[in-house]
């Protein structure tokens, strides 16, 4: 048998290797301890539901309360540098984090002594200290993000239809309505199993993370696209907002089909293929009451109507402008989808958008390619061959209900693509004179 001193040296070496390998999350996540006031077995937390986002009022280190997004897909919370300093939270270690855009970078992590949400107290709570989510947090009117640590030791009840958040020390029981296996693998976030439907028979299974801080319906990686009955291979342009900052080079491709989750069939589901993880975002979760019992390895996912065995998810809308480059005073359109509102309105790749609904791009006019279903038409002021024109785009469903096959390839601007450099985003243009690089958005503003 090894001597005590040798055992201590071995454990120290293993811990050092673990720290260098970036698996420090297991060392720091596990000490986060929850407790419910007066030793109660159940508690309801002060929470606000804002268009799918769950916001909890939280007192940190005796100060606040602060409004934090509850994010079950986050292995750590997030606070800005100024707020962390005001709360006395200093960097304790660094960890490799893969954010919602699929980008992996090292971030500083600090520990709050206490985070109190109503009757629930979390002790030794890890927070990433970063300002890269500043714009997103400002748009949501919140102060930061609260991750999954601590909640993993309770049964977390996210009742979207009733707009209620509860915690309990009691475990879920096999045989309850909507019960399904739960596992934790990637970044210690909870995952449940979905199945693709082929007719009336369930087929391939996918493990998907329950990501209350993710906005998408479903997001998964390109290799899984073959599991879907109908894949629309034409790329959609998008902006990934994550801990690595704002990236414009993200591309997504919508797919659709029927899914089975915990006994409920989701019809004509729209998912997105991107560089992120396999995620269930709150656009899907908000259709359910979601209970997560990490200790027991179970989740219960039930629709608002317990008798319902099918849910038709709302169809997202689009303008069909699938890829743009943000310039100083305009957007350069790189591609549009065939048959989309953009093509039907007369938009062409190579057009420059100088104003959106009369607001100049240089004055803050923003292009939203995925507006709400009830959004009004959008007027784009374009420069085409030095002639200014106004075109009106009426948002339409991402999928034409009459179309059952993938659409044709996007109409694209040939020889031009976006590339990411150390000093920001550039346009790479292939011309008869060779390759030309033109600056697009600076590194700290990739809108």
Contacts of 242 (CB under 8 A, 6+ apart): 99, 100, 101, 103, 132, 133
Angstrom distance (rounded) from CA 150 to CA 190: 13
DSSP track, 55-109: EEEEEETTEEEEEEEE-TT-SSEEE-HHHHHHTT--EEEEEEEE-TTS-EEEEEE
Angstrom distance (rounded) from CA 263 to CA 278: 20
Q: Residues 169-194: pLDDT tens digits?
A: 999 999 999 999 998 765 578 999 98
Number of Cβ within 10 Å of residue 211's Cβ equals: 28
Contacts of 178 (CB under 8 A, 6+ apart): 262, 263, 264, 288, 289, 300, 301, 302
- Decide: helix, strand or coil at residue 152: helix
**How is domain 317-407 classified at the CATH fold level?**
Pdz3 Domain (2.30.42)
Q: Residues 104-120: pLDDT tens digits?
A: 778 889 999 999 999 99
Angstrom distance (rounded) from CA 150 to CA 442: 38
Q: What is the pLDDT of residue 406?
A: 63
- Hey, which of 26-30, 125-129, 303-307 has the most confident mean pLDDT? 125-129
Multiple choice CATH, 31-314, 2.40.70.10, 1.10.760.10, 3.40.50.150, 2.40.30.10? 2.40.70.10
| Tokens 């801080």 found at | 213
| Tokens 């990433």 found at | 128
Residue 334 CA, distance from chain mean position: 25
Any idea where the domains of the chain sit in the sequence? 1-25, 31-314, 317-407
Angstrom distance (rounded) from CA 210 to CA 72: 6
Name which of 163-172, 271-280, 370-379 the model is least confident about.
271-280
């Amino acid at each position: 048998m090894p001597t005590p001193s040798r055992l201590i040296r071995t454990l120290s070496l293993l811990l050092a290797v673990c720290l260098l390998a970036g698996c420090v999350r297991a060392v720091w996540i596990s000490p986060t301890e929850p407790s419910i006031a007066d030793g109660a077995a159940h508690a309801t937390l002060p929470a606000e539901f804002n268009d799918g986002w769950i916001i909890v009022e939280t007192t940190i280190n005796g100060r606040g309360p602060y409004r934090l997004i509850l994010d079950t897909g986050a292995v750590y919370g997030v606070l800005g540098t100024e707020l962390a300093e005001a709360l006395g939270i200093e960097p304790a270690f660094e960890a490799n984090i893969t954010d919602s855009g699929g980008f992996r970078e090292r971030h500083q992590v600090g520990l709050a002594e206490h985070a109190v949400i109503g009757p629930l107290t979390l002790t030794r709570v890890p927070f990433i200290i970063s300002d890269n989510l500043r714009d997103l947090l400002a748009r949501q009117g919140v102060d930061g993000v609260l991750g999954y640590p601590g909640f993993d030791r309770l049964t977390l009840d996210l009742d979207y239809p009733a707009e209620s958040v509860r915690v309990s020390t009691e475990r879920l029981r096999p045989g309850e309505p909507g019960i399904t296996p739960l596992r934790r693998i990637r970044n210690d976030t909870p995952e449940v199993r979905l199945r693709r439907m082929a007719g009336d028979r369930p087929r391939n299974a996918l493990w998907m993370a329950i990501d209350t801080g993710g906005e998408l319906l479903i997001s998964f990686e390109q290799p899984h696209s073959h599991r879907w009955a109908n894949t629309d291979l034409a790329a959609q342009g998008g902006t990934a907002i994550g801990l690595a900052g704002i990236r414009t080079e993200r591309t997504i491709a919508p797919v659709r089909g029927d899914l089975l989750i915990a006994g409920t069939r989701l019809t004509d589901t729209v998912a997105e293929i991107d560089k992120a993880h396999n995620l269930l975002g709150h656009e899907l979760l908000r259709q359910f009451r979601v209970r997560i019992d990490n200790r027991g390895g179970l989740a219960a996912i039930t629709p608002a109507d317990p008798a319902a065995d099918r849910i038709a998810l709302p169809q997202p809308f689009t303008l069909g402008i699938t890829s743009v480059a943000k310039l100083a005073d305009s957007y350069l359109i790189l591609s549009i989808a065939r048959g989309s509102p953009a093509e039907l309105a007369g938009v062409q790749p190579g057009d420059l958008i100088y104003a959106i609904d009369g607001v100049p791009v240089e004055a803050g006019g923003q292009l939203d390619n995925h507006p709400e279903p009830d959004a009004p038409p959008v007027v784009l002021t374009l420069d085409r061959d030095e002639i200014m024109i106004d075109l009106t785009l009426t948002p339409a469903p991402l999928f034409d209900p009459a179309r059952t096959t993938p659409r044709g390839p996007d109409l694209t601007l040939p020889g031009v693509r976006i590339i990411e450099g150390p000093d920001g985003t550039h346009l790479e243009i292939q011309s008869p004179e060779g390759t030309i690089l033109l600056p697009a958005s600076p590194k700290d503003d990739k809108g």
